[in-house]
Amino acid sequence: MANRLAILWALVVLAVGVHQVSFWRGAHLDTDVLALLPEDEQAPEVDAATRRLADEAGRQVVLLVGAKDWTAAQQAADAATQALGQSGDVLEPAVVDTSALDQAVDFYRPYRDRLLTPSQRQWLTRATPDELGGTALMKLYQPAGAQLTDWNVDPLGLWPDWWQARAAETSARPRDGRLWLSGEGREWVLLTWKSKVSAFALGDGARVTAAVERARSRVETAVPGGRLVAAGVPLYAEAAAAQASWEMSTIGFGSLAAVLLLVWLTFRSLRPILLVGVSLLLGCAVALTVTALLFDRVHLLTLVFGSSLVGVAEDYGFHYFAARQGKAPSERGPVMRSLLPGMALALITSVVAYLALGVAPFPGLRQMAVFSAAGLTAAFLTVVCWFPSLDRGALPVTAFSERFSASITRWPRVTSTRGWWLTGAGLAVLVAVGLFRLKPQDDLRQLQGAPPNLIADQRELGRLLGLPSPAQFFLVEGDSDEQVLAREAALKQRLDPLVTQKVFAGYRAVSDWLPSEAQQREDAALSARAEAQAVAAVAASTGEAPTRAAFAQTPLTPSRFLAGPAASAIRQQWLGTLGARQYSVLMLRGLNDPKVLPRLEAVAQGLEGIRWVDKTAEISGLLGRYRRIMGGLIAAGYIAVLLTLMARFGRQAWRAWLPSVLGTLLTLALFGWVGAPLQLFTVLGLVLLLGMGVDYGIFLLEHPGDGSAWLAVALAGVSTLLSFGLLALSATPALRSFGLAMLLGEVTIWILTPCFRLPTRKATP
């Protein structure tokens, strides 16, 4: 039977090997941080809007090149452009078509009469014929070069103001064939480039970042005091990929090296090292294959998290070789059979704990749960199926293992004495105070792990350009295109007073570029009446008979607008049809103070079809909700584990169960004492403690008084600490919080578990 299992497992491993070759050739790894976040269960249209806004900027890199004066700024921009051009295999310029404005003007020309700003509507409504005539006369005698179009097309000069309102959506202005702005004591040139590859493709390293850094260096060399500020999704994606790759190497290979060193010190034989290494390698390979088969793409952070599996999956090999040490090779089968019940129970509790991560609606966490559960199972099967067949030589007891095994007799054991009761009471007080001081904090911004220089550049560039925020916006829905545009107009009427009060800088709406048909008809009638009065006044004053130009008879429709040259400025905000409804996004500029967000949220109240979206607050709320759910899951899990242990160990089950409970409580108390926030990822670490911490007690109860069981538990605990200790040093805040909880909990549980071991029975005389 054992040989059949070994052959069957070998066939599975062979299939995994074939898959690994094809997988790494394609390398479908995902670094998109949005993939780690929960999908919006209640509003898929909000998720669609968020992704549309994110995808629009997925390849774009925006740069501002500045200097003290305009001439130097142009020189610096030329130096940056030349340096970026040397990376033609990675970047390409997003060419600014100088004829785009002329094309847009020509496109809008037939509809000029129905394009009015709110202030123009107010003025045309209240202006007298004399005021209109005076304005028209002034425009008539204005030099032709200062006019955007002929006088008879725009006798009141309304169109330049409309275009100026559109230009106010960005601070950049054309100057000498470039896009220019002035701010913070410098003259700036705006450069826009695109990545030729996906922002989330790992490729051959941080090539976009390297190109930007070369351009920065070239600017600083070419122009004294020159400065380059850059931002873009590709830069963030490459930084995340580089950081995750470094951590994966550090955590994974560092843990592996530490584990193998422990095996050598304990057994002084290459055979345990090789076989434990095989179990770990196959565990990770099978985990990756299973994850790749169940998910479209494997996230890079899944591999980073999974690299900590090394500190857990070697437990089964440790237990086998610790029990096998000092026994004849012929006893391999009986040794494995004696270990199998405890190892299987430990595997079940660990896998259940890992799979509990999948309860939260985080695609990334589900991947991590599947990866870890599959990896542990594969390592377990490798030990059970192959180790008795491959472990053929002698394995003598070493001095190191003998001392470690004997140390269990010197470990303090909890008894019903006054000293232990006082110790327990003191710990209870410390835990209670720590739990009282513990503060939950679910702000999504705490999970941001981008390099500080990227964040600083992003903020400076946002200040200078007045870029809209993709995290807070208004989602407008309606039964038709017309209703969406009309509702946008109603929303803008409420936002205009806040812009005047400088609560925020402004907004960018589709209806600014494409008014509703009703608004177009109303504005066309208003401008026709006012301009007719103006033309009549000019005729009466000059004795001539000027005529007003003719305009399009049909309104500008969404389909015609979206096919025109002006749509590129706003296309990403027109979501179109989602389900049976139409949607658009109104974006806000200059949101620099979080305190104004409640005022903006209040604007949407009472407006049908208008929804305020604060994606940061929504995800933060979801993090808090699932933190509470997972907290309840921990409590339920401990009850379920206790019942499982009681089925195996009866009244003594509490000895394997209580150390994990105490480890969880002490970890939370330590977080409270040091002021560390309680986050969802902290709670997720505690979920895993439930499964892995109980393993130590299971093995000590399965083999009471057996020094080899304590040796295996000690080695497993130390290797787990090394693995999750490195994870606690991660630069990714979520992984760091998770790893810190695991580190503190594992230390506590590892120390406490032998204190609750069964009393050693005295031999009868």
How does pLDDT run across 621-661, given as a tens digit for each residue? Answer: 888 888 888 888 888 888 888 888 898 899 999 999 999 99
Phi, psi of 140 (to 5 degrees): -65, -40
In a domain, 762, yes or no: no
Residue that the structure tokens 């470990």 belong to: 411
pLDDT band at 173 (very low <50, low <70, confident <90, very high): confident
Classify strands 581-589 and 468-478 as parallel, antiparallel or unpaired. Answer: antiparallel
Nearest to 528 by CA among 543, 556, 554, 547: 547
> Is a pLDDT exceeding 80 seen at residue 727?
no
Proportion of the chain above pLDDT 90, given as a percent: 35
What is the structure's pLDDT at 44? 67
Residue that the structure tokens 């105070």 belong to: 433
> Is a pLDDT exceeding 50 seen at residue 33?
yes
CA-based torsion, 42, 44, 47, 49: positive or negative = negative
- The HSE-up count of residue 464 (CA atoms within 13 Å, CB side) is 29
Nearest to 508 by CA among 206, 110, 188, 167: 167
Residue 632 and residue 206: Cα distance in Å, rounded?
42
What is the structure's pLDDT at 38? 59
Proportion of the chain above pLDDT 70, given as a percent: 88
Nearest to 627 by CA among 404, 474, 442, 386: 442
- In sequence order, the 6+-apart residues with CB closer than 8 A to the CB of 78 are none
* More confident: 685 or 206: 685
CB 748 within 8 A of CB 689: no
Which pair of tokens denotes residue 510? 């589709």
How does pLDDT run across 393-407, given as a tens digit for each residue? Answer: 888 899 889 888 888
What is the structure's pLDDT at 97? 52
Query: In 3-state terms, the chain is what percent helix, strand and coil (to 5)?
Result: 65, 10, 25
How does pLDDT run across 100-154, given as a tens digit for each residue? Answer: 667 888 899 899 999 999 899 999 999 998 999 899 888 888 765 555 677 888 8
pLDDT band at 577 (very low <50, low <70, confident <90, very high): confident
What is the structure's pLDDT at 765? 40
What is the structure's pLDDT at 447? 67
Residue 72 and residue 180: Cα distance in Å, rounded?
13
What is the structure's pLDDT at 387? 94
Burial of 161 (0-12, 13-18, 19+ CB in 10 A): middle
- Mean pLDDT, the chain, integer: 84
- In sequence order, the 6+-apart residues with CB closer than 8 A to the CB of 176 are 74
In a domain, 734, yes or no: yes
DSSP one-letter string for 625-662? HHHHHHHHHHHHHHHHHHHHHHHHHGGGGHHHHHHHHH
> Is a pLDDT exceeding 50 seen at residue 591?
yes
- In sequence order, the 6+-apart residues with CB closer than 8 A to the CB of 525 are none
Q: What is the largest CA-CA distance in the chain?
A: 135
Mean local confidence (pLDDT), 678-703: 85
Mean local confidence (pLDDT), 340-360: 82
Q: Of 96-110, 509-523, 541-555, 596-610, which range is least confident?
A: 96-110
What is the structure's pLDDT at 28? 60
DSSP type of residue 678: B
Phi, psi of 605 (to 5 degrees): -65, 130
Q: Of 151-165, 245-259, 592-606, which range is least confident?
A: 245-259
Q: Of 48-57, 260-269, 328-337, which range is least confident?
A: 48-57
Residue 29 and residue 237: Cα distance in Å, rounded?
12
Q: Which helix (H) or strand (E) is 77 found in, with range? A: helix 70-85
What is the structure's pLDDT at 580? 82
> CA dihedral in degrees (316, 321, 323, 324; nearest 10)?
140
> Is a pLDDT exceeding 50 seen at residue 497?
yes
In a domain, 765, yes or no: no
pLDDT band at 230 (very low <50, low <70, confident <90, very high): very high
What is the structure's pLDDT at 203? 46
How does pLDDT run across 318-341, given as a tens digit for each residue? Answer: 899 999 998 988 899 899 999 999
> Is a pLDDT exceeding 90 seen at residue 45?
no
pLDDT band at 310 (very low <50, low <70, confident <90, very high): low
Mean local confidence (pLDDT), 574-603: 88
In a domain, 153, yes or no: no
What is the structure's pLDDT at 491? 96
What is the structure's pLDDT at 354? 75
CB 521 within 8 A of CB 477: no
> Is a pLDDT exceeding 60 seen at residue 98?
no
pLDDT band at 446 (very low <50, low <70, confident <90, very high): low
CB 357 within 8 A of CB 687: yes
Collapsed DSSP state (helix, strand, coil) of residue 232: strand
Alpha helix stretches (DSSP H) within 325-362:
332-355
Q: Report yes or no on whether pTM surpasses 0.95.
A: no
Q: How many CB atoms are closer than 10 A to CB 298?
A: 21
Q: How many residues does the chain have?
A: 765
Domain that holds residue 296: 2-26+246-413+420-444+618-756
> Is a pLDDT exceeding 80 seen at residue 423?
yes
What is the structure's pLDDT at 305? 66
Mean local confidence (pLDDT), 236-264: 73
Q: How many CB atoms are closer than 10 A to CB 254?
A: 17
What is the structure's pLDDT at 505? 84
* More confident: 270 or 45: 270
- Name the domain count of the chain: 1
What is the structure's pLDDT at 760? 67
Residue 400 and residue 397: Cα distance in Å, rounded?
8
Alpha helix stretches (DSSP H) within 185-269:
207-222, 233-267
> Is a pLDDT exceeding 90 seen at residue 718?
no
